[in-house]
Amino acid sequence: MLSRRTWIALALSSGGGVLGGCSAAATATGAALLPPQAGEVALFLAANRLTWGANSSTMAQVRALGIDRYLEQQLHPGGAQLPPEVQTQIAAMTISQHPMIDLAREMAEQRRQAVALTDDDAKKAALKSWQQEMSRLGREAQMRELLRALYSPNQIQEQMTWFWMNHFNVFQYKGNIRATIADYEQNAIAPHALERFRTLLGAVAHHPAMLVYLDNVQNHVGHINENYAREIMELHTLGVGSGYTQQDVQQLARVMTGVGVDFGPERPYLRRLPGYVREGAFEF
């Protein structure tokens, strides 16, 4: 199996012919990412493929380290030091100041109060206000991701975060996902974007955004919902035509009947089944 480093080296050397002249340098062991005679143009093209756009700062770093060491550094990123003004902008966001579970509770309560109004005009205005606040939270998540993509020094991690957000995509206008999608990107996807796929898959399966989006919150004993189980096999892991059967989907759905979400407060007075686990809003 190719390592991440070797895979990226091969991509650099064959990307649509852009660096076709360098393809011989990408050996099976990834020993040399670019040949010694690679010029400034090839260096720029390589850096541009590894980032969201190589700038003067990126090129200075690549020249100083060489592509080989730069790639190693990118694959083992440290803390992302953003420009102070960017960090200040992110820190001022609601999604940065409040935990996901608190945001979800607050938005659920706001909607509950709106629905309870008896005056039609007041209810309409209150629901509109709720929708606007939910959309604002969603836009904050989008803006934060864009700012990090533009300014984070950990460019490969940012690219892979976008890649995995697409692979494990959710629809933010379903349920309360606009209140949870920022946490989904920051705590389920981004930290594991360069880790083992199994770790990433597990983090996604524990997150309320995915459990709400693919309806596992409606998957109960006596009321099986196969949606998430099917998507795990069809889209997230094995793929169509890989040999799994409808029975496999049904059995996985049964396994996942205990996987759900509870945004309410901890209730220690309730009697739980042995082995009950709760981590934030996730419960099993």
From the number of C-beta atoms within 10 Å of its C-beta (0-12, 13-18, 19+), residue 271 rates as exposed
Tell which wins on pLDDT, 47 or 22.
Answer: 47
Give Cα separations from 258 to 101, 232, 235, 273, 281 (angstroms): 20, 16, 22, 11, 13
What is the structure's pLDDT at 260?
Answer: 80
φ, ψ for residue 253, nearest 5 deg: -60, -40
Q: Flag whether pLDDT at 130 surpasses 60.
A: yes
State which amino acid sits at residue 282.
F
**Within 13 Å, how many C-alpha atoms sit on residue 165's CB side?**
21
Digit-coded pLDDT (tens) for 152-192 = 999 999 999 999 999 999 999 999 999 999 999 999 999 99
Q: What are phi and psi of 210, to 5 degrees?
A: -70, -40
What tokens does 10 get? 């091969």
3-state secondary structure 137-184: HHHHHHHHHHHHHHHCCCHHHHHHHHHHHHHCCCCCCCCCHHHCHHHH
Cα gap 145→56, rounded to integer Å? 22
Distance CA 25, CA 83 (A): 36
Q: Which two tokens stand for residue 65?
A: 């380290």
CA angle 215, 260, 98 (to 5 degrees): 100
- Whole-number Å distance between alpha carbons of 73 and 194: 12
pLDDT tens for 197-231 read 999 999 999 999 999 999 999 998 889 999 999 99
Beta strand 260-261 pairing with 282-283: antiparallel
Return the pLDDT at 17: 39
For residues 175 and 146, is the Cβ–Cβ distance under 8 A? no
pLDDT tens digits along 225-259: 999 999 999 999 999 999 999 999 999 999 998 78
Q: Where are the domains of the chain?
A: 4-75, 82-196, 215-284
